[in-house]
Structure 1
């Protein structure tokens, strides 16, 4: 697979991701992007149709933390069934970036917000809860963080 199919390019697939996919995987699975995360399921898109999907047991039982599960924006390898009305996710591809936040409480764990984000636009209310001294951090490159500075 030297060329990226137009249907995948429209939803963000690029050469960097193409290098992360083994050619043998494409014979067995189809590429898709996670577009929504529900409690125990996902909505994925192959560029033509959005489909409800679930994780294969291997992913569920080998996950060490919430970061190991797919997030919105992740690219996955999946099998589509029943005329593209249902899918099973078999693998999550490497991420370019990951936007996450610490979960509430004392336990150090993270809640996923999105993956493979190229540009993030964050809006904050200007009411009494505004804390201009608070620093916000977002992904700015391959596994790097960039600081957002408040605009006076």
Structure 2
């Protein structure tokens, strides 16, 4: 079955460009903005108060509707001057969607309706799984505060 057959180079290139874009965004944010601008953000508060902040960062990069600028800035704050730790959630969070975007784009380019539907279903499934993880983390946090 050739369900996820995309040119490996295309997927790799999409992932590398997305990772490079996140790194550039992180560096620009570090130079241009002050933490006072971020302290009122709900996403900032959510990511910095998690017990496992690296997992929260990874999920932040994975979910496409969370602003990546906020996640990148929180990444800078949590992992201060350790570039390797800053890079880890970016690579893990960005890679699955880079592959799915490549697969979906290739499907659209070749006008393959069944592959377009499969790509859309996979993107929605990954987003739902990530959202479920966020809700689980939120409920665990709520229950640990009560105890």
Q: What TM-score, normalized by structure 1, do the two folds share?
A: 0.24
Higher relative contact order (CA 8 A, sep 6+): 2
Normalized per residue, the structure richer in strand is 1
Normalized per residue, the structure richer in helix is 2
Q: What TM-score, normalized by structure 2, do the two folds share?
A: 0.25
